[in-house]
Amino acid sequence: MRKEFILASNSPRRKFLLEQIGLEFKVFPAQVEEDKGDGEKISPIEVVKKNARLKAQKVAENVNNAIIISADTVVVLDKMIIGKPKDREDAIRILRKLRGKKHCVYTGVAIWEMPENECLVSVVGSKVKMRNYTIQEIIRYVDTGEPMDKAGAYGIQGKGALLVEKIEGDYYNIMGLPLVRLNYLLDKLGYSLL
């Protein structure tokens, strides 16, 4: 029996990326309490690995014959994880903090195969240099509403691209799903996306 692919995420960007490469899949968002790395001596890399695995595992508990794809993305500046903004003021604060600086974006990707109950997890990191944008540009960008559901309060695939000066690494990782690494993990399980 052919296995179905399941995306354990509500992210429109992850959904778009999988559609872009022609993968047929269903969406079952994982309802889990994500680790934010607060109060623990846990690296951002360990945080995204843990969260991606947790999301895949949660969905795996409810399916019999599937390959579950999950991911978790964080923005890191000066060794501190910057999550999604709580509100408009928080988005402005985050973007002011990132202005003119280089930060890292880490995405943990987990592939959970059922019924084999096998899980592969990997992390990709990319660097992003923000330009020295003005406070007026920050406010105009925040008022579009785009930053509100995104780690680091910007989306590189939208108007947020206008705030970015340079990237080093995987563009799709910054969007939230490193496609080359995803293909590598699936290939290890015998499922090539090509």
Distance CA 99, CA 77 (A): 11
Return the pLDDT at 37.
67
CB atoms within 10 A of CB 148: 16
Return the pLDDT at 34.
74
What structural domains and CATH numbers belong to the chain? 4-188 (3.90.950.10)
Give catalytic residue positions.
72
Return the pLDDT at 163.
98
DSSP codes, 113-154? EETTTEEEEEEEEEEEEE----HHHHHHHHTTSGGGGSGGG-
DSSP codes, 53-70? HHHHHHHHTT-SSEEEEE
CB atoms within 10 A of CB 141: 23
pLDDT tens string, the chain, 194 residues long: the values are 578 999 999 999 999 999 999 999 999 998 877 767 655 577 999 999 999 999 999 999 999 999 999 999 999 999 899 989 999 999 999 999 999 999 999 999 999 999 999 999 999 999 999 999 999 999 999 999 999 989 999 999 999 999 999 999 999 999 999 999 999 999 999 988 88
Return the pLDDT at 50.
94
Burial category of 132 from C-beta neighbours within 10 Å (exposed 0-12, middle 13-18, buried 19 and up): exposed
Count CA atoms closer than 13 A to 76's CA, side-chain side: 22
Return the pLDDT at 27.
96
